[in-house]
Structure formats: C-alpha cells, structure tokens
Chain A
Amino acid sequence: MKMKYILKLTFCLFAALNITSCSDFLDVNNNPNAPVSENLSLGAKLSAALVSSVVQETGQLNQIGAFWGGYWGTTSEGINNFIDLKTYNGPAIRHQRDGIPVWETGYANLLYYQLIREEATAEGALFYSGVAKIMQGWHFMHLVDVYNNLPFDDALQGTVHPTPRYEEGRVVYEKSINLITEGIEDIKNAPAGTEAGADDVMFTGNKTRWVKFGNTVKLRALLRQSEVGDQGYITAEIGKIQAEGSGYLGAGASALVQPGYLTTAGKLNPFWENYYRTVQNVSTANHQDIRPTAFLINTYKQRNDPRLATLYVAVGTDYKGVLFGNPNAEPEYERANTSAFKGPNENGNAPAGLFKSATQASVLMGSFESLFLQAEAAQRGWITGSAKSLYESAIQESFKYLEVNTGAFAAYNAQPLVNFDNATNKIERIIEQKWLALNSISSLEAWSDYRRLGIPALPNSLDAPSPASFPLRFMYPESERQTNNEEASRHGSDDVTQAKVWWDK
C-alpha cells in the first residue's frame, strides 16, 4: 500500500494547488431538484396519499368492477376495447406493460401510508398514524378481493424482505381489521389540535368521521365473509365496533375526497376526465364507447327508476344498453343507437347523476353504501336497528347523490319490486338496490357482492371462454412472477375463472 500512500500524498499536493478543499469540491450531492422526506410535513404527504387512493378507487378498480359487476359494456365501434376484461384473459391482464396493475398501484398506495405511519409513530402524531392504518386496512382488503393471498407482515419494508412472504387472504383480512381497530384507537387518542386540517382532503381533520369510516370499512369486511361460516369471529368483531361506540357513516356523511379540483388540464376530477369530457370539453374515448348493459337498463326500467334519466342520455324516448362482450359489431349497439353517460352538456348545464361538474368531489365510499351495509347487517341480525329503514334511507341517499328529486322516493318505494316489505328474500332486495346505487361509483363492490351472493343474476360476457366461466380473481401480476415467483406459485392456481378468493364460497 505504499503506492497508495504516495498517490494520496501526490494527490493532496496537487489538490492544494487546484482547489481550496477536496471536501468542498465534492460536496455537491444534495438534490437541488426535489425535497426529501425530512423537508416535508406529514400533511403534505397525507393529502397526496388520499388523492392517490381515490384515483385508484374511481379509476382502475371501478372500471374492472363496472365490467365484471354487470354495469358496463361497449358500443359496436368499441368492440375491440377492454377485450381482456371481456374475454377474462388472465395472462393479458397480469401483463407487465399492457395489463391492469392493481397489485402495483395498490402496494404503492400502501407504501405512501406506511411511510406516513412510520414517521407519525416516531413523532407521536397519532391522528396521522391512525388515518394511515385505516387506509392501509382499506387497501390490503381490496387487494385480497382481487388477488386473494398476499404479503402483509413482510410487505412494505424495502430491502428488509426482498421476497415478501404471502399470507392467506383470511389472515390478511383479519390483520387488516385489527390494523383499522388500532387506527381508530390512535385517532381517538390524538390530542385536540393535532388533527390534520385542509391536508385531510377527506374529512378535514374530523376525528368522528374518520372513526365512523373505520367502523364502516370493518363492517364491509365482515359482511364480505358472510358465507364463510365463522360467525363467532364476526360476532366478536361486531362487538368491538359496538363497544367503540361511534357507529357508522350515516346519511349525509359520504367519504368524499376533494383536494380542490380545478377546471384546468390535469387538475380535473379524474373520473370526469376519463369517462366524460376533457378540459377542452371534448367527449372522451371512454365516453364515446362505454355504455350501460342492457341488463342494467332493464333492471332500472322494471322499477321505473327515476335515476335512469339522470344517469343516461335517452335514444329517442328510450334508454338502450349493450351486451357485454358481444363479439359481433351489430348496428343496434352502435354509439348513436345506445345511451351514453349523461353530463351537464346533455342536461341543460345542470349537474347530472354521475357527472355533475369537472370539479366534483371523488367518492371513496358513499353514505348510501354504508347504509346498505348496515341494512344487510341488521337484516342478518348482526347489528341492532331496522333493516327496512336503513334500506330506505340508503335509497334516498342514492337519489340525492344521483340528483334525483327526493320527492320521487315515495312512489318509487311503493312498487312491489322495490318495497322492502314485499320482498321474500330481504338480502336479495338489499343487494339489488345496493347494486343499482353503486353503479359506476363503487363498482368493485358489485363484482364482490356477485361473487359472494350471486346477486343480481348477471348475464355472462358473450366473449367468455365458456358460458359458465365467470371471472373470480386476477392472476398474480407478471411483475410478481418475475421478482417473487417462489411465493406467488406456492399458492396454487391463480386462474381467473377457476380459483376463488377465500371469502367466495
């Protein structure tokens, strides 16, 4: 190492001639282009995480659910669009580039909350750690609904677990529910004045709302396992929610995300910008070619549903749907002959059902969904309260959200196909109306309810591999096959039309 010594000596001699200090010369590695975690407040991270969650919810997940939950099909012109969803083409859906990256987006969102949670826990910022835990529970369970078994304990730790171990979907559900319970505790323990403000783009720091939201998500998770047959667990968990005491999201208390959308490129409500109009007020490709299914239109029609008129544009005097997965480009299903989504442009500039304005809030979970969940739980005898009044209140909340005059409710509710008392199968009635209310808003729930209960009796895609094969899950993504194949392949078949999610019995 004598050589090294000589070199160093020589170097420093020259260095002295050239520059004042080696160290100063080399200290240029602080990123001048972007902040790092230490530069930013928890609030600046929470706002972005919540918006990112709702972008996935109202975009990617809602779209999958809308096709597989019976709401959407395409025009004859758009026959080749969404072909992978129409044909249940699992390998294409999991494709790294052209597929639907639910897994990737889901875990990215989970990471955002993980970093907030870690930082908030270290700083004792309980409100933030509580929100992060609730939202992590939300995302983990959504991922299970799509992929079944997946990493929970090993997840989100960077290089600590480079090939995270998968856990059973049931276990992930259980752990997620516990995580939400913890989150609720944190929020309740957060001292007054430490809540988020405008950064909390969902509830502006309203602790009670967050706790109610957490309880509602847990209720949704418990109802999801209604067919599994572990009633003891469900009862115990319901007991915890009741002991907590804050209850669920009720009328007028939707979980809406409103960061302050603007009528300018890239800052519009993303659902509007994807499925209705661009910033230049041009009808988008999705608006051109996505249409309600004939089955959906008929279900509304059979009930003389006033929501039909606020949701869709009439063709002549009638509403026309399409056949999901129709392999033939028939003229009767062309754009001009079928009902497109209605928006202010087709509604005398007044807000329409789904499309009210370019800056409308995004729906993470509607009050109507919460009320339908409560109605089902009440009907099952899990919670106290009248299933009927919860059911009616849910429909009214749906009317309100979809810009239907609440005065129309009484006549609507009087119809035999709607009235709760007339129903022989109350659960079926609740789920039917829930399906009509969640249309294009929280469509993933429709697909999950169909898998859980088979309600309503959806017609299969005409392009399905066989008439009896319905989509049951996503295959593990190619990215996971490439990086964590041992774990991914340990969990048996992940075939789209054969392998079931754990709660699907």
Chain B
Amino acid sequence: MIFYKKCFFLLLLWLPGLVAFAQKSEIAGRVIEQTTGDPLPGANIILKGSSDATIANEKGEFRMQTEAGDILVVSFIGFETREIIVDRNASALTIAMKEDVNQLSEIMVTGALGIKRAARELGGGSQVVGSENLNQAKTINPLNGLTSKVAGLRINMYDSKVDPQIQITMRGTRSLNRSKNAPIYVVDGVPVPDISRINPNDIESVTVLKGANAAALYGSEGVNGALMVTTKTGNRDKGRVTFGHTTTFSNVYMLPPAQTQYGQGVNGVYNATQAESWGPAFDGSMKDFGPKLPDGTQPQALYAAPGSDNRLDLFQTGVNMQNDISFSGGDEKTTYFFSVQDAAIKGIIPEDKSRRTGARFNGSRNFGKLKTAYNINYVYFTKNTTPDGPWITAYSLPANFDFNSMKDWQNPLAIGNPNNFFTDLQKNPYHQIDNIRDESEQQNLNGKIELDYEVTPWFNAMYRLGLYNNNVQTRSTTGKFEAAGRRNVNGSVNDGTNNFRRLNGDLILNFHKDFGKFTTRLLLGQNFRADNTKASSISTSNLLLPDVFNPGTRIGELTGSSSITEYRSLAGYGEFTAGYNNYLFLTFTGRNEWVSVLSQENRSYFYPGVSASFVFNEAIPAFKDNNFLSFGKLFGSWNKTGNVTLDPYSLNNPYTQSNGFPFGNLVGFTPGLRYPNPNIQPEFVTSFEVGTQLSFFNNRLHFEGSYVFSDSKGQIFNATTSRATGYSSAVVNAGRLTNSIVELSVSGDVVRTNDLKWNVGFNFTHINNQVKELYEGLRSFNIFRQSYANIGQAYPSLQVSDYQRDPQGRVVVDAATGDPLVAADPRHLGTMVPPYQMGLNTNVNYKGFNLGAQFDWRMGGWLYSEIVPRMYTAGTEPRTAEFGREAFVYPNSVIETSPGVFTENTELKTSGGGKAFWTKQGEVQINTAAKSDFFKLRELNVSYSLPTALLAKQRFVRDATIGFVATNLFIIRHKDNKYGDPEYLYNSTDGYLSFRQVPPYRTYGFNVNVTF
C-alpha cells in the first residue's frame, strides 16, 4: 500500500522531466471500430484549438500536420468522441472508437449469445451499465455495483461478513421456489453460475436483458432475464497500462438498540453469575462479578450504565484494499487485455478477513475468415471468519459488560478465561472469535474459446466452448478447551472440499441476407451443458489435543460424507429476425430442451417467443429530422418459457443413516421427509411486454417505459405440508404467480457545456405480485417461518401473531390478569418485498472534478426481526425497561366487558413486569415487525482528474484520477424500524433479519487511478 502511494508521487515528480520539445510533422492515422477492428470511414478529426480538420477515408485513414503534445479530437456519429494526445515519436496512430451508449438510435447491445446487435432491433427491455457507472463506488463484487441502477433489477446485500451475500431478482418473484428467481449470468457469451468473483474493473459493460427472451438462447434459467457481462478487450490502437488503488474503511451501524437501565440478575435481584439483564437498576456501585478466580480473588465490576454502546467495542473498523493493474493493446488483427487484481478485506469482526487475487487474459486474433477469441480468468479467494457466535452473544449481554476486559482469555487468572468468565450460560465473545474459525480457499478458473468462421458473406458458423471450474477447500475448527460442565469446549475439525465443473458448448449457425429493404437473419444453435459436482468432508467433533487440528488426532470414530451430483442438458434453438427498412423488426425464437433431472417421459420441452420493435420516428415522416424527438421506438414481446428448477435426484426418496447408525454391522436407514414426485413436469412462465424508448432534444433526454406481465404456472416447488402427512414437504407442480410491472426510467443532461456536465437519472419500478393459486386448493401457504404465500396477496407476505384487538385496534387485556391477550389467528401485514423500487443517480462533471451519487429508495414492504424476541428474553430490549420492571397498565388497552363491548383500561395492571411477562410479549411477533421503507445514499464518488493539458506536456501518464468513494453514507428508515438494515434478508426470504448475520456497515475511502 505505502509502496504504491510512493510510486504514484514519484511519477508525479517525474512529469516535468518528460516534457518534450515541440516540432511539427505529418502523422498518419487510422480510425477503427473498437470491437471488430473494422475501419470507420467518414470519422471527423480536428486539431484542438485550431481550424485544422480532416475526414477519414474509406479505409478509415487520415493524415495531418501536428506536433507532439497536440490534441486530436476524433468524432463519429454514434461513437464516443475521443481526444488523443499526439506522441513525440508517433508516426502512425490507430484510434479505436467505442459506441456511445447514450445515443439510443445507435446503441449496440450484447444480445443473444454475445452477438452484438443494434438495440433498435430488440423487442424486450434492456439496459446497459458501463464500466464507469458500475465501478462508481469501487465495489469488490460487481453485483453490488449494479444495485439500484437498473429499473426492475433488485439487488440486496446482506450479512456484512468479509464476503457479503447478495440476492438478485429481476422483475419480481416469478417462482415460489425462493432460490430460483435470479437471472442467468452470461460472461462473454457463456452462461456461468456466479459472477461475484469477477474483478469489476475487467468489465466493459453489463447488458441487462430483462425479458424472458434470453431464455430461448441461453436456456430456461434465462426466464428471469439475463445479465450479459462483457469483459474488456484490448484497444486496437496504442497499448496502455492502467493502475488503480482503492482503500475504504467499514464501520458497523444499525445495531438493534438495547436498554441501559438494568443489569444482570434474576427477578430484580443482582446475581454475579447470571447473564440476563433482569437484575436491579444500575446504581453506580462496584459489585462482585462472576466466580472467584483460581487465586482466590473476587473480580468486581462497576454496576453502572455505560456512556456509550459497549457492544460497539466488539466491532472494529474494517479495511478494504484493492490494487489493480491492467495491460492492453492490439492491432487490426489482434487484441489483448491482461489484468491482475488483489482485493483484501479486513472485516468489522476482529480477525475476519478475506482476499481475492485474480488474473484475466482476454485475447483475440483474426486469421482471414476465421475469427478466434479466448478468455481465461483465474481467481484465488481465501476467507477466514468466525461463525455467528460473538455478536449473538453481544445482543444478550448486560449493558455494562466491558468487552475490552475480555480479550485476554488465555491467562488462567484473567476474567476472560473461559474458566473464569462471569457466567457459564454464555461464552466470552473473544474466546469464540479466537477459538472457532471457518477457513475457506476457493480457486475459480473460468474460460472460453470461440471460433467464428465466415463460410460465405451471408453465413458464418461459430463454436464456443466454455469451462467454469470452481474448487473450494474448507476447514472449520473449534479449539479444545477442557473445563468443567458447561464451560467445556470440545475440539472439532471439519475438512471439506467442493469441486464444481461446468462445460458448456454452443454451435451456432448464423445466416443473414438482405432483400431490398428487407433484412433477414436466421440463427440455429445447439447447446450442451454438463455440470458435475463432487463434495466431500471428513470431520471429528472430539479432538484429542487443543492445537492439533487433524481428524486423525481424535477420540472415537471418524465422520464424513461424500456426494456426487450430475446435471446435464441438451438443447436445439433458433431465432429468426426480419427487418424492414431498418425501422421495423420482427423476431421469432424457439428452443427445445432436454434435461437430465426429469423422468424420460417429461424431460423434453419446447418453448416459443416472438417480439417486435418499431422505430417510429424514422418510419413516420412527421417525426423525421425532428429537433424535439431524436429517437422513438415502440416494442413488444410475448414468450412462453419452460423451466425446470428441480435439483438432480429429486424423483426418489433417499434413505440415510442417523441416530448413531451404523452400530458396528447393524445398519438402520430412515427415509427423507420430502415427498418425492416422479412425475414432475416443466413449469411454464408466460410473459408479455410492451414499451417505448424515446430520446428528446438531440439525445439530451432519454425516456424508457414499459409494462410487463408474467404468469407462472405449475411451478416446481417444495411445498411445506402438514407434518401429519408424514412428510415435511412435497415436491409438486403447483401454484401460480402473476407479476404486473411498470418500469420507467428517465435520464438527461441538465447542463451540457464544455466545462460543466450535469446528468440526472431516475428509475422507477412498481411490481404488483399476486399469488393466484396454491397447492391443492390451499388459500394460504407457509413458506419460511413468518413468510407466507396467500392467495390474492403479494408473495412473500409477512404474517405474524398479534394481540386481540377491539375494532379501534386497541389491545384487549385479560379482565382477570390485565395481561394482553394473544389472538388465535395470525395477522397479515403485507408484502416482504418492497413493491416500489426507485434509483436516483446524478453525475456532475466540472473541469476534471466529478461527483457521482446513487440513491436507492424502496417503499411498501414489511420486515420481521428474529433478533429482538431474544433480546426480550434476555432483558436487553429497551421496551422491557420502559415500565420500570413493574406491573403496569398496558398502554392503549381495553377490557372486553361483555362480548363485543370494550371499555378502556385505565387501572388494571399486568400480572408483572419481569422476565415472564416480557418473554411472552417477545413471542408476539407483531412486536418485532416493522415497515421496511428506506432511502439510502448507496454510492458516492467525488474525483478529480488531472487536466489533459497538464498531462499533454509529457507522454508517460495519459490519465490520472484521484477520488473519494463511499457506500451507505446515510439511510432514512421507517420510524418503527429500529431493528436493522431493511435490505437484509435471510434464507432467500426478503424482509427477514436474523441474528446469525453480521450487522450492516458503511464504507468510505479513497481511490487513485493512473493510465500510462
């Protein structure tokens, strides 16, 4: 880190020495298209600050008189304008131009199978996020960089471990099977299971294909849309080296609040060895704390409310550090891009850390009619964390607990030593941190080879083979600590490996022919996919020694398991596009798929689609060459997509041995409790979409709006069933969900002058999700704990236990005891997924200064916290202290004097105000539910780029930028939500806060980028 900083400053010092002497000479240049290397005839070349100008000829070539340090401005319609500094030694320049993603009329997207096509042809919604926007906050996981930037795409980050978890959903929940709502990830044309390990700086762009259209070409997983990741290729002009460094710091925030009035004890009486906060009020005295130490001394602690939240002492400031370097270049036939990144995270939990080191090599070469491309990406990722113990403990420890005094647990005389810890009903969090570790080491190798041969000018054939290999080695250890009774800790070790390999091959025949004003294209493809997983583990839970972590050094028997899973599929597919006069397009798609996970009778299924687009401003004379409307397109599509979300081997009920079996030679097998269904069929999602894309005022203002309807039927899901059926769940084809979605996005340049550019964008999504049918005529269906699918309501819905209430909503108390009465039926609160999702971004650029901000705004959802009920039990929840731990008149309560007659309760007190009472209130789930509305400043980036003029005086550094980056700088939550981050989720269930997760953090830091 310090080393890099030094290098950067040294470079700055060197700059003046590199200034060259000016001397006019003629240079030759060539302007080409970046992706293909094709020439761009007609490109405009202007010598900045003069009237000299020229135009590239049909080979893209030009000549011009320049001197070193001059700046050439190269522009071409539909492409980003580039400024090129003339190099002292350069005699020939190759200038590669990139498409301008801001001009809708010309935009190219990575469409089907990685084939570039004009956005105007597409009949489904799509949006492109470029590298700069993606990397605005320098996130380590590229998915984080997409959050709230695309209408219809919802990304939630949860569990702030050193490798935070991500859930991603496009256009609403389509499947009751909670883990099957993510879009397909396609990297350079190859579908892969995960992209979170990709270096975001390697990404050129992410094209988000929102409709199910993608499924026809990528398979059923595309039913939820596709994230098409295009990684960078080398520039076909001068070689370049970029270097980037980012350091950010993370701080925990939004812990659920805790009371600071009462300390440890039982029933109002202080107790030196009890951990729960049911003791007397803090009084500032010194009290005995825990048992006597081995030397006979009695530890004492100050029994007083702390000045600040002691729990924060358990967390540290995390540090994320990224270093990137990339080399790229190329010529007309070859391109290359090579990058290396190292991203290290020090967690907010002491000792937690992770590190990702990866390298990518992308190359291409053309041999006449044969174009070849190859990518290889290797990532080495290590992680070392402690499981959920320490912070769960912290939620239930007394407010005066001094975390800092507990760090020394090795010393037999320290109060932190597990033998001396004040209670044996909780563990010392620092002992948990030091002693219980999960390590993992992941190696990810991902690559592709692509051969594209032009057989005739109207027919080319392509073969693309992708390999995705992921190998994870894990080791979980618990150090043995011998002590009496509850203080004893058994040593354990679990060594696991998980190997996943995916081979994916596509043969694609691409025919295209024009007939007068008609253009046609036919694409025929065949795909195979083979996924192979082998996972195994060996473990022991009884290690012999405290510091030898090997299953061989154990007491008793070795335990272990191994599993092999294979999934295969084959597909044939086609796409036919007909265009008229470049403004009307019609596309038909179809795919037949054969999958290994269904029975032979059911494993083949076909699904069709059709889409159309109409660029009306070019077709209708009234709109042509209109200053107001620069581009106008209407589009629509219809798809019926088949999908199989079943895991392999789900058609039979496997038997396993448990309860100690085998005992010697005696075996004993019990069946699984998931009722298998051998006749599972594919599920089908029918969807249609209509929309429009408009650009106004010379492409200064863009608008896109669409309406989408999807209807998923006969879903394959694991239905929770009454346990009286014998089974806990059954695999069924049942259930129907519909989604009506409105997506709007607007972006525009508010100010567009040479010096000042101010761009503002806003996207809005409203999802009306409804459960239409469930399994076997049920009207309500439990999904996960408090989340339900209820007919006529959005899925998943939060349904909780509540008090009995009178018609005015006041709580009914028992006329005898004064305790609030719990209603027999649960109460439905609302959807757990916010139906309103908005993103707001702004970018201001003034003379090298740039300010970018991304706001995320979600409304209308509900959340439930499972952390808080435990805090009620432990007496740490603030409400348990609200009434002085005495019996009290339950606020806003009534007594039912006769059936249906309620009188206000002003006198009758509850049966108590201690643990027994409050534990029961913690069980009433409405007490820990809240609305999940929030408004977040998700990303902020302030940067300064050294001016071109300054850099023009030397030829070494081409670009230099320094910036401040931050995430989650502020959040506004619904006033009732004191529980945590409304974005969090648990077990694929939105709106569910779990104590297992590390609480959220915010990050801030700086970033330096230099291009040579």
Please list the residues of chain A having a beta carbon within 8 angstroms of any beta carbon in chain B. Answer: 3-4, 6-8, 10-12, 14-15, 17-19, 22-23, 25-37, 39-40, 44-45, 47-49, 51-52, 55, 76-80, 83, 87, 89, 91-92, 95-97, 103-104, 107-108, 110-112, 114-115, 150-151, 154-159, 161-164, 198-199, 201, 259-268, 270, 278-280, 282-285, 287-288, 327-329, 463, 465-466, 477, 479-485, 487, 489
Contacts and interface: CB of A to CB of B under 8 A. Distances in A.
B31 to A, nearest CB: 40
Q: Which 9 A-B pairs have the closest CB atoms?
A: A11-B572, A48-B668, A482-B782, A111-B726, A14-B526, A34-B654, A264-B556, A31-B649, A47-B668
A483 B564 contact: no
Contacts of B567: 28
A40 B505 CA distance: 39
A161 B606 CA distance: 33
Given A3-B588, A279-B555, A483 B424 contact: no
A266 B666 contact: no
Contacts, number: 318
Given A32-B564, A103-B723, A162-B775, 7 more contacts: A4-B590, A26-B570, A26-B596, A111-B671, A158-B726, A327-B916, A479-B728
A267 B660 contact: yes
A33 B653 CA distance: 12
Contacts of A268: 660
A273 to B, nearest CB: 10
Contact of A26 (B568, B666, B776): B568
Contact of A266 (B574, B653, B660): B660
Contacts of B541: 265-266
B572 A480 contact: no
A288 B485 CA distance: 6
Contact of B660 (A11, A78, A261): A261
Contacts of B499: none
B4 interface: no
B484 A34 contact: no
5 contacts: A29-B651, A47-B661, A92-B923, A158-B726, A199-B666
Interface stretch (B271-279, B832-840, B963-971): B271-279
A162 B822 CA distance: 28
B668 A44 contact: yes
B725 A31 contact: no
A14 B187 CA distance: 24
A423 B732 CA distance: 62
Interface string B816-844: 01000010111000000000000000000
Contacts of A83: 873, 915, 919
A278 B487 CA distance: 13
Given A28-B596, A29-B597, A7 B591 contact: yes
B367 interface: no
A216 B826 CA distance: 42
Nearest to B563: A33
A162 B778 contact: yes
A18 to B, nearest CB: 6
Contact of A264 (B267, B557, B675, B822): B557
Interface string B650-686: 0111111111110110111111010101000000000
Given A51-B668, A89-B923, A465 B727 contact: no
A87 B916 contact: yes
A31 B725 CA distance: 25
B648 interface: yes
Nearest to A327: B267
Contacts of A7: 572-574, 590-592, 606
A77 B290 CA distance: 12
A35 B662 CA distance: 14
Nearest to A18: B528
Contacts of B569: 26
A154 to B, nearest CB: 7
A51 to B, nearest CB: 5
Given A26-B596, A47-B666, A280-B490, A36 B572 contact: no
Q: Which of B482, B567, B573, B594 has its CB near the most chain A CB atoms (within 10 A)?
A: B594
B82 to A, nearest CB: 43
B107 interface: no
A78 B486 CA distance: 11
Contacts of A114: 726
B721 A10 contact: no
B801 interface: yes
A104 B723 contact: yes
Contacts of A481: 826
B723 A479 contact: yes
A465 B917 CA distance: 10
A360 to B, nearest CB: 14
A156 B671 CA distance: 13
A107 B573 CA distance: 48
A28 B566 contact: yes
Contacts of A51: 659-661, 668
B74 to A, nearest CB: 44
B360 to A, nearest CB: 29
A483 B485 CA distance: 40
A159 B677 contact: yes
A3 B725 contact: no
B594 A265 contact: no
B724 A47 contact: no
A25 B568 contact: yes
Contacts of B669: 35, 40, 44-45, 48
Given A26-B596, A156-B725, A36 B916 contact: no
A75 to B, nearest CB: 11
B785 interface: yes
B505 A18 contact: yes
A10 B526 contact: yes
Given A36-B652, A282-B488, A283-B484, A151 B724 contact: yes
A329 B873 CA distance: 17
B266 interface: yes
Q: Which of A31, A91, A284 has its CB near the most chain B CB atoms (within 10 A)?
A: A31
Contact of B542 (A19, A159, A265): A265
B671 A162 contact: no
Contact of B486 (A3, A25, A39, A285): A285
Contacts of B122: none
B424 A111 contact: no
Interface in B288-307: none
Given A31-B649, A47-B668, A164-B722, A6 B540 contact: no
A465 B572 contact: no
Nearest to A109: B670
Given A4-B592, A34-B654, A89-B920, A115 B671 contact: yes
B557 A267 contact: yes
Q: Which of A10, A17, A487 has its CB near the most chain B CB atoms (within 10 A)?
A: A10
B649 A79 contact: no
B651 A164 contact: no
Contacts of B596: 26-29
Contact of A328 (B266, B661, B673, B825): B266
Given A29-B597, A36-B652, A154-B724, A483 B542 contact: no
B519 interface: no
Contacts of B978: none
Interface string B884-920: 0000000000000000000000000001001110011
A6 B486 CA distance: 70
B157 interface: no
A83 B274 CA distance: 15
A77 B271 CA distance: 10
Contacts of B649: 29-31, 33
A23 B603 CA distance: 10
Given A25-B528, A40-B655, A48-B657, A15 B778 contact: no
A92 B565 CA distance: 39
Contact of A11 (B571, B824, B911): B571
Contacts of A44: 667-669
Nearest to B266: A329
Nearest to A199: B666
